[in-house]
Amino acid sequence: MTAFNKWFLSSSANSIDNYYQYMSEVVKIVGTHYQSLEKPYEYIEMEDIQEKAAEFVKLENEGKLPNAIFESIQNLVMKYSLHISHPGAMAHLHCPPMIPALAAEVIITALNQSMDSWDQSPVATYIEDGVIQEMIKKINYPKTASGVFTSGGTQSNYMALLLARNEYCAKHFSINVSKQGLPAEAQKFRIFCSEKAHFTVQQSAAQLGLGMQSVVTIKTNERFEMCPEHLYEEIERVKKQGDIPFTVVATIGTTDFGSIDPLHELSKLTERENIWLHADAAYGGALLFSHSYSHLVSHLHKADSITMDFHKWFYQPVSCGAFFVKKASMFEHIQLHADYLNPEEDSQLHLVDRSIQTTKRFDALKLWLTFQAVGKQEFGDMIDYTIRTARQTADYLQERKDIELLNTPEMNAIVFRYQPNIHYRDKQKQRVFENTINQSIQQLFYDQGRLIMAKTKNHGQVYLKLTMLNPLITFDETVKRLDEVISLGKDLEKKEERLREHATIS
């Protein structure tokens, strides 16, 4: 025993007492908080938040008792956080976490296994690999496939382009990029993705020494899906210029619209051209478990690599994602061996051999625990419920004259805008007016904490976005909230009208 005993988990009585005290208090404040939760957000001036946060974070010389600590957490962190489990929080691909996953987090953090080398996570390593294998079966990938848990889509997309780049250099230039660095021809490497693809394609290209210039964006059709004809033309154009197409990134669920690029057609093209096909299914991966809509991802196995986020439509606490690759041997492109961690002669599975992270959380356990508790059947029901609710909501908006609906949701994201009645003769003035009204609607609802929507742009015009991931969202309640959106739009419009009259009189 040392003086520090109570701060660490051990068999001693004061350790266990302290653990129970902290854990029971913390569970209580979370539970009571949700009991009294009415709104997704409690408005506070930004300056006030900054001031309170600055006070909150001060490091103290002496430790405090847990109830004092938790009280200050309640008064600031709980009170002013965005409550993503509330059905009025529909902005981003930001999910309410499922309760079984929250229980898993307690175990993940208490055991604190590190998923880099086998000796630091003897069971956890094989559980992560097993969960990956279960997903590989769902994807319908061949036996050669492999994968690894990641911090999310950003990391997974980065890994895809990293492997694709290194594989291309090995195959066509006999260059081992890990050892020799990039060949001069890397200047000419080109990546293709749709104009609606996630910005991390550009970001990864920038970080991988290819520059954002290497990303060629392909037009989308009226459903915001990549046009294979335009992709074909662009590949031909790039080749004629002497540049080198090496990867196509298909998005399986674009962040704004949830639109799905035509993987089957794209794969025919990439196979013929011998180009790596990456599927960014950060959002759409969950469709694999859908009862009614899994056909939308039936071609996922055609991709050479896949990004999937579990902290989106799989309802896992941040962070939790995975990267899959059709041929496990591709991971050799990122393997380096450290004598103290993963020496070459070891026969155990060291997950660091598949990852760009070293120390890594045992996030696989929360996904596993979720599926143990919920089961594939009910999980699929949830996915389907959210799609049906979103489609019903879109149908409702379609019927309203004061709304312009931009997409028919394939998944559960809806993009729309309030359409004012007032029309200016000056087109530019009209655009500004429409954009201002929609921006104000989004901001005012956020400030009132009634409805949290996102805003996005299409052809320079401001749109509102609902991401209806949360299975607690109902159609009726959503319609009520949208009617409030419309009536706020009308109010703002009336104000503008009065200003106009005023201007003509004076």
Ligand X SMILES: *Cc1c(COP(=O)(O)O)cnc(C)c1O
Distance CA 44, CA 446 (A): 11
Does residue 280 belong to the site contacting ligand X (CB under 6 A)? yes
Residue type, 488: L
d(Cα 465, Cα 470) in Å, to the nearest integer? 14
> Residue 501: which region, alpha, beta or left (left: phi > 0; alpha: psi -120 to 50)?
alpha
Go through the chain and tell me how many residues it has. Answer: 506
Out of 88, 96, 147, 153, the only residue in the binding site for ligand X (CB under 6 A) is 153
Does position 412 interact with ligand X (CB under 6 A)? The reply is no
User: Interface residues for ligand X in 175-214 (CB under 6 A)?
Assistant: 198, 200
Is 255 one of the binding residues for ligand X (CB under 6 A)?
yes
Side-chain-facing half-sphere of 397: CA atoms under 13 Å: 30
* Closer residue to ligand X (CB): 22 or 199: 199
| Among 405, 425, 378, residue whose Cα is nearest residue 466 | 405
If one asks whether residue 93 binds ligand X (CB under 6 A), the answer comes out as: yes
The least CB distance from residue 220 to ligand X, in Å, is 14
Which of 97-105, 152-160, 205-213, 436-444 is the region at the interface with ligand X (rule: CB under 6 A)?
152-160
| Helix pair 427-448, 475-505: axis angle to 10 deg | 130
**Applying CB under 6 A, does 154 fall inside the site for ligand X?**
yes
Taking the complex as a whole, how short is the minimal distance between the CB of residue 312 and ligand X, in angstroms?
6
The residue among 154 and 407 lying less far from ligand X, judged by its C-beta, is 154
Q: Closest CB to ligand X among 282 and 287?
A: 282
Distance CA 291, CA 81 (A): 34
Site for ligand X in 301-340 (CB under 6 A): 309, 321
Provide, rounded to whole angstroms, the least separation between the CB of residue 308 and ligand X.
Answer: 10
Among the residue ranges 134-142, 275-283, 339-347, 469-477, the one whose residues contact ligand X (CB under 6 A)? 275-283
Rank residues 200 and 412 by Cβ distance to ligand X and give the closer one.
200
Distance CA 115, CA 126 (A): 10
Backbone φ, ψ for residue 72 (5° rounding): -70, -30
* Contact region with ligand X (CB under 6 A), list: 107-115, 148-156, 394-402, 468-476: 148-156
Q: Smallest distance, Å, CB 198 to ligand X?
A: 3
**Is residue 251 a contact residue for ligand X (CB under 6 A)?**
yes
Strand-pairing partners, residue 325, are 146, 305
Residues 6+ apart with CB under 8 A from 295: none
Please, where are the H alpha helices in 189-261?
Answer: 200-207, 228-240
Q: How many CB atoms lie within 10 A of CB 336?
A: 10
CB of 201 to ligand X, least distance (A): 8
Instruction: Using DSSP bridges, classify how beta strands 403-405 and 321-325 pair: parallel, antiparallel or unpaired.
Output: unpaired
CB of 232 to ligand X, least distance (A): 23
Beta carbon of residue 229, minimum distance to ligand X (angstroms, whole number) = 23
Residue 282 makes contact with ligand X by CB under 6 A = yes
* Amino acid at residue number 189: F
Q: Which of 95, 352 has the CB closer to ligand X?
A: 95
Nearer to ligand X, 293 or 433 (CB): 293
Instruction: From 2-10, 177-185, 203-211, 279-287, give the range in contact with ligand X by CB under 6 A.
Output: 279-287
By CB under 6 A, how many residues form the interface with ligand X?
Answer: 14
Q: Is residue 152 within the footprint of ligand X (CB under 6 A)?
A: yes
Report the 10 Å Cβ neighbour count for 26: 15
Gyration radius of the chain over CA positions: 25
How many CB atoms lie under 10 A from the CB of residue 443?
Answer: 12
Only one of the segments 21-29, 278-286, 440-448, 491-499 lies at the binding site for ligand X (rule: CB under 6 A); that segment is: 278-286
Return d(Cα 364, Cα 35) in angstroms, integer: 29
**Sheet of strand 305-309: strand arrangement:** 146-150, 321-325, 305-309, 276-281, 244-251, 189-194, 215-218
Cis before 174? omega within 30: no
Stretch that binds ligand X, among 69-77, 149-157, 370-378, 440-448 (CB under 6 A): 149-157
- Which range binds ligand X by CB under 6 A, 17-25, 116-124, 150-158, 237-245? 150-158
Contact window for ligand X (CB under 6 A) among 60-68, 203-211, 277-285, 489-497: 277-285
**Least gap, CB of 207 to ligand X (angstroms):** 13
Backbone CA torsion sign across 239, 244, 250, 254: negative
Structure tokens at 274: 């011998």
Asked if 85 contacts 40 with a C-beta cutoff of 8 angstroms, the reply is no
Q: Interface with ligand X includes 353 (CB under 6 A)? A: no
Q: Least distance to ligand X from the beta carbon of 373, Å?
A: 23
Q: Which residues of this protein are in contact with ligand X, per CB under 6 A? A: 93, 152-154, 157, 198, 200, 251, 255, 280, 282-283, 309, 321
